Amino acid sequence: MPNNYYDAADLRKFGEITEWSEELGKKFFDYYGKVFEEGALSAREKSLIALAVAHVVKCPYCIDAYTKDGLQRGITKEEMMEAVHAGAAIESGATLVHGVQMMNKYKKLSM
């Protein structure tokens, strides 16, 4: 039994999701592969975006995968951390902007 909820070994099992829904699993992996192909954005840029998003959605498997991918693509630790901070800034800003909703509701209810 692993020491925590997320077992790093499970990342290697990701491809097995097709076993219980082959059609949808295949469609997902086809889509996923297409998204990360070179396009208007380089695979390197997409890797940095994926790393930032992985932190925002708090996916330890994705963090492991895109840290490794980034290293293989020559992304520096400074670039990785800057991407993580960009994601964190957007996430915290999105949380704080919802404070306006709370302020509006408070004003309405306290009249």
pLDDT in tens, 11-69: 889 889 899 999 999 999 999 999 999 999 999 999 999 999 999 999 999 999 999 99
Q: Give yes or no for a contact between 70 and 80, defined as CB atoms under 8 angstroms apart.
A: yes
CATH code of 21-110, in short, is 1.20.1290.10
Q: How far apart are CA 64 and CA 70, in angstroms?
A: 10
pTM of the model: 0.82
Sorted by where each begins, the domain ranges of the chain are 21-110
